[in-house]
Amino acid sequence: MQGGGHGPASRQFGLGTDQVLEAEVVTADGKVITANPCSNTDIYWAIRGGGPGNYGVVTKTVIKAYPMVNVQAQHVAIATLSANTNLNDKGYAGYGQWSINQPTPLFGTFTAGYVHGFYTFDKTVSYAQSTFASTLQKLLPYNGTSLYISVSYVSYPDYWSFYNTESGVEPPVGSANSALGSRLFSRRAVQEDTAGLRSMLDVIAGTPDEYTANNFELVSGGANFLKSDDYSGLNPAWRISYFNHIVARGWGPTATQADEDAVQHDITYVKTAAMKEQAPETGVYMNEGDRLDPDYEEDFYGEHYERLSSIKAVVDPSGGFYCPTCVGSDQWKEDSTGRLCKA
């Protein structure tokens, strides 16, 4: 919530951070305050997207609730994808995954391919089918020849039956044996420069022996485009980006430090850098960003960095709250043992 917070419902209703109406916060000087649009407005602005753990300790929030909706879930599995229709404009949101070679199958026995679960809210299955029809038309000629394509739909009467079946299932705990980077993508970055997009995809696909995993999160657009940049401390890149794309590589138990460094270097300076080159006008979702991003100030916070820094200087003048990519962390240096010294 304090960094963003996306889910299958965030296209329809907005990010987690946009639902916060009020928060109880323990400030750096030990006071318990209420932050809302009328009181302590700077802290209220900063804790909604400006980065977690940095302006106070949030002990309670009042969040907006919405009437229950039905959900239509679409499941697609194919070997490659080449289509131009903007499904997000039609109301679709969801998550996809693709790889040219990964250690475990994406689906069936395929270790190369593309799978997604996309969702529409408060609609019907026939609506979901008709809006996907033009994309499917482009794919079907390859079915059974060069591609395996499977499309299916499931209808849920309410959000929670959908969530508990498809989304809220416990994900595996993140592994320490991997490096990842990500980028938010605007319409321009994917539709106006297809040659650039093609070469970026080649770079982030990697070579088969790199076992690169790519995750595609169609979680923005919709309600997120209706709020102004200034609504909260959230990275303004979210207000123009339809999806987030994560690229990740791991290393095995016998990897040396040099192997790990090589993977991390590839993620930071080759693969994530290629995404940034394709979408320079956007930024990065800090909760799923590269923790070693050399440009984290600009990438994680965008044009809000300066205002967040001013708020940080007032609400936490001694810099008691710290994390390596948080606003104001440039005031500190970590030594080789992890101790902090004033920069």
Interface residues toward ligand FAD, by CB under 6 A: 2-7, 52-53, 57-58, 171, 174, 287-288, 323
Which CB sits closer to ligand FAD, 305 or 321? 321
- Provide the minimum distance between the beta carbon of 326 and ligand FAD in the complex, in angstroms, as a whole number: 7
Structure tokens at 26: 């323990």
Alpha-carbon span 163 to 7, nearest angstrom? 10
- Provide the minimum distance between the beta carbon of 184 and ligand FAD in the complex, in angstroms, as a whole number: 12
In whole angstroms, what separates CA 342 from the centre of its chain?
32
CB 185 within 8 A of CB 242: yes
In whole angstroms, what separates CA 95 from the centre of its chain?
10
Which CB sits closer to ligand FAD, 170 or 335? 170
Which CB sits closer to ligand FAD, 38 or 169? 169
- Provide the minimum distance between the beta carbon of 4 and ligand FAD in the complex, in angstroms, as a whole number: 6
- Provide the minimum distance between the beta carbon of 323 and ligand FAD in the complex, in angstroms, as a whole number: 5
Which CA distances in Å does 19 have to 15, 39, 40?
Answer: 7, 17, 18
CB 23 within 8 A of CB 236: no
- Provide the minimum distance between the beta carbon of 268 and ligand FAD in the complex, in angstroms, as a whole number: 19
- Provide the minimum distance between the beta carbon of 93 and ligand FAD in the complex, in angstroms, as a whole number: 12
- Provide the minimum distance between the beta carbon of 174 and ligand FAD in the complex, in angstroms, as a whole number: 4
Which CB sits closer to ligand FAD, 7 or 196? 7
Which CB sits closer to ligand FAD, 4 or 206? 4
**Helical residues (DSSP H) of the chain, grouped into ranges:** 10-13, 41-47, 125-139, 159-162, 187-191, 194-205, 257-265, 272-278, 296-301, 305-315
Which CB sits closer to ligand FAD, 175 or 254? 175
- C-alpha closest to that of 180 among 69, 288, 339: 288
Which CB sits closer to ligand FAD, 75 or 291? 291
Kindly report the number of other CB atoms within 10 A of residue 309's CB atom: 16
Alpha-carbon span 288 to 4, nearest angstrom? 10
CB 166 within 8 A of CB 152: no
